[in-house]
Amino acid sequence: MGLDPTWRSVLSAPKRVMTVSCPVRMDDGRIQVFTGYRAQHNNARGPFKGGLRYDAGVNRDEVMALAMLQTWKNALVDLPFGGAKGGVVCEPKKLSRGEKERLTRRYTSEIMPIIGPNEDIPAPDAGTDAQVMAWMLDTYSMMVGHQELGVVTGKPVSIGGSVGREEATGRGVMNVLRKFLATQNKQFTDVRVAIQGFGNVGYHTARLLDTRGATVVAISERAGGLFDESGIDIESAGIYYRENGTLEGFPSADSMSNDELLSCDCDVLIPAAMENTIDTLVAPHVKAHTVVEAANGPITPEADQILGENGVTIIPDILANAGGVTVSYFEWCRGWTITSGQRRKSMMNCKR
């Protein structure tokens, strides 16, 4: 990057990392204590901005690294934000709706001193969604005494969210890939795609590519995946996954493991799950000529070098998955403007 050595040392460490303890009453009456984090890397360009994830693998080093990636991402797409990331160590699929709500509200209250529409704006990430953001908004607003729509993004549309925010990251992946293929005189109809991860980003990426003519030959989620040389019916797979919580048993494709997907015969590989999924053991076996990093940091530095030596083009995460934060910026602007307008109107009424 050609950074001055002084600034390199400054940017190599986050500005702040907060660790919180979140005691939550579970449905069976016992109290369980969850550990949460919020890392704030750099706010030279504006308020901190970054996702909140619920996952059993969350740790301090992970949120620090992801916060740094968010700084580069926001700067690359010229958004007036710095980088941040949050996480809670838990298994979200094992939590009831009530337990998840109580955990979210407690976590929000614990990180209250360092978040706000002009300080740090959380958004959904792995294991969280619009409902979690609604709980965060409600908790924060109760504590400050007024509705503060700009404190989080990725909210439901009915309370200030943006239409299209849910699929924005996947749509960004699709558009970046489309632009890259055009430089190679190719179209979606010319490529076979494998996508690791079938959550929000993976599903919408697969759906959008499928509707535009790409052949999606493989998809997967945590428990395993599917392969069909002629192309998987993404709409049917999405319905099956929502109804069953897994792709296992889907009747219209062959089963495969996540490791097999990463090395399957395809033109474009899209890791859309978690970080460090393509390591030195996997990289030599990647057959795709292009890897699009839909997840944050899915390729280890050592694997990145191996892929480069093998002639594989890598479209980096800070560009490929920036669609989500771009739409979040529009949502934040709208929320901040509405809230500020309400305050000005209230002040004018008081003066009268």
Q: Which residues are marked as active site?
A: 85
DSSP character for 161?
P
- CA angle 27/33/35 to nearest 5° reads 130
CB 315 within 8 A of CB 180: yes
Burial of 304-330, coded b for 16+ CB within 10 Å and e otherwise, reads: bebbeeeebebbbbbbbbbbbbbbbbe
Dig out the tokens for 21 from the structure: 């303890």
SS3 342: helix
**Closest by CA position to 13, among listed 82, 73, 90, 68:** 68
Q: What is the SS3 assignment for 126?
A: coil
Q: Is 51 exposed, middle or buried (0-12, 13-18, 19+ CB in 10 A)?
A: buried
Tracing tokens 């403007």 back to the chain, one arrives at 337
190 Cβ partners below 8 Å, 6+ apart? Answer: 181, 267
Q: Are 307 and 285 in contact (CB under 8 A)?
A: no
